[in-house]
Structure formats: structure tokens, C-alpha cells
Amino acid sequence: AQTVTQSQPEMSVQEAETVTLSCTYDTSESNYYLFWYKQPPSRQMILVIRQEAYKQQNATENRFSVNFQKAAKSFSLKISDSQLGDTAMYFCAFMIQGGSEKLVFGKGTKLTVNP
């Protein structure tokens, strides 16, 4: 079974600074996808970024980027120039490609951006 671990239950950062959220996963599969989802106080689940396991290049979406270390099974999210609207719960998620494509989530990291 696949597991996803987020070791930081809570983090805080000052506005305009950079913060990195950690995620590790365990799988014996070779073809999979990794995602970061954001859940603000509204409870909406918002897709932040996606990484294909077969790609060596780290994904980037504006202020959000990942550091994907396949051998170490690590998938961290870096948020640059943090904004107040980034305050949310962040979930790391794993999906096997070619399987049912269900998402397996970590327990989440609650990020607070302080003014």
C-alpha cells in the first residue's frame, strides 16, 4: 500500500518570505503522479501543482515549485513571496498511473502566513 507522510503539522511564515513544506511517500510502483492541494478555510480543495514521476524536471507554477527527489521518495513544495491568501492546509497526494487513479493524501500541513 502507498503511504504519504507530511511531518510538519503546522508551519508559519512572514508575508513575502519563502517557505518549504515537506512530503515523503512510500511506494514500489515506478509510474505515478504527485500533487499538492491547498485547502483554505472555505474547505475547497484546490490543485496547486502536479509532478509526473518519469519527469526529472521539477514542476513550477508561478510562486509554487517542487523539489522532487525520486530516489529519496521526497516531494517538497516551495512557496515564494508568501501572501496572506496562501494561509491554508496543504495536502500532499499520490496517485498510481494506470491504476484506479485514486488519490492517497498525507495528513496535511497547516500553513499560516503572518502580516
Partner 1 sequence: AAGVIQSPRHLIKEKRETATLKCYPIPRHDTVYWYQQGPGQDPQFLISFYEKMQSDKGSIPDRFSAQQFSDYHSELNMSSLELGDSALYFCASSLTRTTYEQYFGPGTRLTVT
Q: Is residue 80 classed as helix, strand or coil in its secondary structure?
A: coil
If you ran DSSP here, which 8-state letter would residue 59 be given? P
Task: List residues bridging with 66 in a β-sheet.
Answer: 77
Residues 15-54 that bind partner 1 (CB under 8 A): 33, 35, 37, 42-47, 50
Under the binding rule (CB under 8 A), the answer on residue 104 touching partner 1 is yes
Residue of 5, 55, 84, 99 interacting with partner 1 (CB under 8 A): 99
CA dist 108 → 21, 45, 62, 88, 99 (Å): 10, 12, 22, 10, 24
Q: Using CA atoms, how far apart are residues 13 and 114, in angstroms rounded to an integer?
A: 6
| Candidate ranges 15-23, 55-63, 66-74, 102-110; the one touching partner 1 (CB under 8 A) | 102-110
Q: Are 74 and 68 in contact (CB under 8 A)?
A: yes
Under the binding rule (CB under 8 A), the answer on residue 84 touching partner 1 is no
Report the nearest approach of partner 1 to the CB of residue 63 (Å). 19
Under the binding rule (CB under 8 A), the answer on residue 102 touching partner 1 is yes
Q: Which residues bind partner 1 (CB under 8 A)?
A: 33, 35, 37, 42-47, 50, 91, 95, 97, 99-108
